[in-house]
Amino acid sequence: MLSHLFLAVLVLEVKKASGITLALGTKRLFCYNIFMFYSENEEALIRLGQKIGQKLVANDLLVLTGELGSGKTTLTKGIAKGLEITQMIKSPTYTIVREYEGRLPLYHLDVYRIGDDPDSIDLDDFIFGDGVTVIEWGELLGEHVLSDYLEVILEKKDEGRQVRLVAHGPRGAELLGAIQDV
């Protein structure tokens, strides 16, 4: 009887709209949620980012994971549009941090170069600041640094990108729920 409490529920729904295919796989097991998209081109990835950006509030944290060229900065361009940022979004690869002003401040970080030494920059200033923090290569920081966030995993698939959103923590789950309504 008790084992039934730990069963996972998987719901699949496929929908196609404006170049984005949604494969909703909501798997709830210990508050673990996944939402999947397929983006056919760069414009669709930017539109997806914009829809995500429109749902963000102060202190939201997104961790972008994917190979070089998988679309992390492209998705961030869309997130910036959703935050009403008009500045050109550039990769923070060499600067580590880029800051932008819009409806909320956007802190765009690339932690690839800091590796496993998160103390080399003051992450708390960004993560607990008054804006939204987007961290490329955030998986390198480890779970001991990050606890409540939305992970965005980008993979090259055919000509487009597969995007998986994975909620970590209560705000991550709340944000994922809001995004599922797009």
112 pLDDT band, cuts 50/70/90, is confident
Instruction: Please determine, for residue 11, whether its predicted confidence score (pLDDT) is greater than 90.
Output: no
Q: For the chain, which domains are there?
A: 2-179 (3.40.50.300)
39 pLDDT band, cuts 50/70/90, is confident
Least confident of 24-28, 94-98, 176-180: 24-28
Given this model, what pLDDT does residue 84 score?
98
Predicted structure pTM score: 0.78
Given this model, what pLDDT does residue 174 score?
92
Q: What is the mean pLDDT of the chain?
A: 78
Give the side-chain half-sphere CA count within 13 A for 26: 10
The answer to whether residues 142 and 116 touch, using CB atoms and an 8 Å cutoff, is: yes
Instruction: Please determine, for residue 106, whether its predicted confidence score (pLDDT) is greater than 90.
Output: yes
DSSP symbols for the chain: -GGGGG--EEEEEEEEETTEEEEEEEEESSS-EEEEEEE-SHHHHHHHHHHHHHH--TT-EEEEE--TTSSHHHHHHHHHHHTT--SPP---TTTSEEEE-SSS-EEEEE-GGGTT-GGGTTHHHHHTSSSEEEEETGGGG-TTT--SEEEEEEEEETTEEEEEEEEEHHHHHHHHHHHTT-
Instruction: Please determine, for residue 83, whether its predicted confidence score (pLDDT) is greater than 70.
Output: yes
**Which residues, in sequence order, are CB contacts of 84 under 8 Å at separation 6+?**
102, 103
Instruction: Please determine, for residue 98, whether its predicted confidence score (pLDDT) is greater than 70.
Output: yes
Q: What is the rounded CA–CA span in Å between residue 137 and residue 113?
A: 9
Instruction: Please determine, for residue 17, whether its predicted confidence score (pLDDT) is greater than 50.
Output: no
Instruction: Please determine, for residue 115, whether its predicted confidence score (pLDDT) is greater than 70.
Output: no
132-179 pLDDT per residue, tens = 999 998 777 766 567 889 999 999 988 889 999 999 999 999 999 888
Q: What is the rounded CA–CA span in Å between residue 112 and residue 62?
A: 15
Instruction: Please determine, for residue 103, whether its predicted confidence score (pLDDT) is greater than 60.
Output: yes
Q: Is 19 exposed, middle or buried (0-12, 13-18, 19+ CB in 10 A)?
A: middle
Given this model, what pLDDT does residue 166 score?
93
65 pLDDT band, cuts 50/70/90, is very high
